[in-house]
A and B are shown apart, each in its own frame.
Chain A
Amino acid sequence: MKITRDGGWSPYLAGALAGLLLIASAWVSGKFVGASTTYVRSAGMLESLFSPERVKSLDYFVKEAPVIDWQWMFVIGIIIGSFISAITSGSFRTQALPDMWRERFGPSRVKRGAAALAGGVVAMYGARLADG
Chain B
Amino acid sequence: MTVLAYGLITGVIFGFLLQKGRVLRYDVQLGALRLLDMTIVKFMLTTIVVAMIGVYLLKDLGYVKLSVKNTLLGANILGGLIFGLGWGLLGYCPGTSGGALGEGRWDAVWGMFGMLVGAGVYAETYPWISKTVLTWGDYGKITLPQLFGLNHWIVIAVIAAASIAVFFQLEKKNL
Chain A residues in the interface with B (C-beta under 8 A): 1-3, 5-6, 8-23, 25-36, 38-40, 42-44, 46-47, 58-61, 68-86, 89, 91-101, 109, 112-132
Contacts and interface: CB of A to CB of B under 8 A. Distances in A.
A76 B98 contact: yes
A95 B104 contact: yes
B43 interface: yes
Contacts of A43: 116-117, 119-120, 123
Contacts of A98: 25-27, 30, 91, 105, 107
A12 to B, nearest CB: 5
Contacts of A76: 8, 11, 98
A58 B126 contact: yes
30 contacts: A14-B21, A14-B43, A15-B46, A19-B50, A23-B58, A25-B6, A39-B119, A58-B126, A61-B123, A73-B5, A79-B98, A82-B100, A85-B17, A86-B102, A96-B107, A98-B26, A100-B26, A100-B31, A112-B107, A120-B112, A122-B85, A122-B86, A123-B111, A124-B114, A124-B122, A125-B86, A127-B79, A127-B94, A129-B82, A130-B80
Interface range on chain B: under 10, 10 to 19, 20 to 34, or 35 or more?
A: 35 or more
A62 B113 CA distance: 22
Contacts of B117: 43, 117, 120-121, 124
A35 to B, nearest CB: 4
Contact of B122 (A6, A22, A75, A125): A125
B22 interface: yes
Contacts of A132: 69
Query: At the interface, is chain B mostly helix, strand, loop or mixed?
Result: helix
A75 B84 contact: no
Interface of B: 3-28, 30-31, 36-37, 39-40, 42-51, 54-55, 58, 63-65, 67, 69-70, 72, 75-76, 78-108, 110-124, 126-127, 129-130, 133, 167, 174-175
3 smallest CB-CB distances across A and B, nearest first, come from A77-B11, A120-B114, A19-B50
B128 to A, nearest CB: 11
Contacts of A113: 107, 110
Given A27-B58, A82-B15, A125-B86, A16 B46 contact: yes
A31 B7 contact: yes
Nearest to A130: B79
B42 A12 contact: yes
Contact of B114 (A14, A35, A119): A119
Contacts of A21: 10, 13-14, 17
A81 B13 CA distance: 6
B121 A125 contact: yes
